[in-house]
Amino acid sequence: MRLAHGLAALWATSIHAATLQKIEADFPNPTNVGFYLYVPDTLSPNPPVLVSPHWCHGDALAVYKGSSFASLADRYGFIVIYPDSPNAADKCWDVSSRGTLSHQSGGGDSQGIVNMVAWTVKRYKADAGRVFVTGVSSGAMMTNVLLGAYPDVFAAGTAFAGVPFGCYAAPDGSADYWNSDCATGLVTHTGAEWRSIVQAAYPGYNGWRPKVQVFHGTADEVLNYTNFGEEVKQWTSVLGLCGSKPAKTEENNPFPNWTKYVYGKDGWLEAYSALDVTHNIGNHEDVAMKWFDLTCTTGNCFRWGQGGPKGDSLLNQTPAF
């Protein structure tokens, strides 16, 4: 995986091109996740917000420099949040503790990240209905955590080489736990069991769920390819799609020897299997941008509560912020 050096720590201190800023804000942040923000010079009206958590041994600056989301934000006027893991040992995200796997539990990295979203929405009058998340490896794991624990915040997510929500859960509920069984593909469940794990993160929630996109290489040497199938089982069940068989299969999409599987008549889950690709699957910003509809700046842009398996039954619901 890619490495990066430490980041500056002053309020609104420029650390790259005078635009990436570290924010010190007063909101619940139980694990002290670092808050880095990219706000382009020209924002679209009520701009969307993209959250981009980094990989293990990375940091906010590494993913900022290692992806093109900042330049895309310049072009389309959205805001990017680059959270920074507080885990100094390996800079992996907490995807194992009871706190991070629970909705507003009072603990865990996920709560700090969600409160960054709330702060950004308020500060910049951003569109609370157009909040998205994408990441690679540990960032993909956190993407699934945020989609599972905070379905009332995120409209969609894209996870590159991740694992299902709750797969890394520590037996003792602790943070910074490396779950070797999950990493090697030994944690498997039925779709119904995976659904119960997600539902336990937010007991009683029966509202709209974000759409999900997952990617995995068949030769992944860090997080076994088995996790791809488990993600599909989890999200098809959580989203109430018809079984785990795809409604549509497209070969060589978006690249040669990659296969795209579309689930449900609304296509609320897309799963991409990359033949012979290792864990270094990379960011594919163009695919994620299309999934999030982030190139849309006016009119009927995709947003929270729009479409999905439950159709119009939840039209009166609104996102959290």
Burial class (CB in 10 A: 0-12, 13-18, 19+), 173: middle
Task: State whether residue 169 is helix, strand or coil.
Answer: coil
DSSP-assigned beta bridge partners for residue 140: none
Can you tell me the distance from the alpha carbon of 247 to that of 253, in angstroms, rounded to the nearest whole number?
15
Helix then strand then coil, % of the chain, to nearest 5: 25, 15, 60
- Token pair listed for 212: 């999900």
Cβ(274)–Cβ(217) below 8 Å: yes
Q: Which residues contact 164 (CB under 8 A, 6 or more apart)?
A: 144, 194, 197, 227, 230, 231, 233, 234
Q: Look at strands 131-136 and 49-51 and give their pairing.
A: parallel
- Token pair listed for 205: 């929630």
Can you tell me the distance from the alpha carbon of 114 to that of 120, in angstroms, rounded to the nearest whole number?
10
Active site members: 137
Helices (H), the chain: 60-66, 69-76, 109-124, 138-149, 180-183, 191-199, 226-238, 285-292
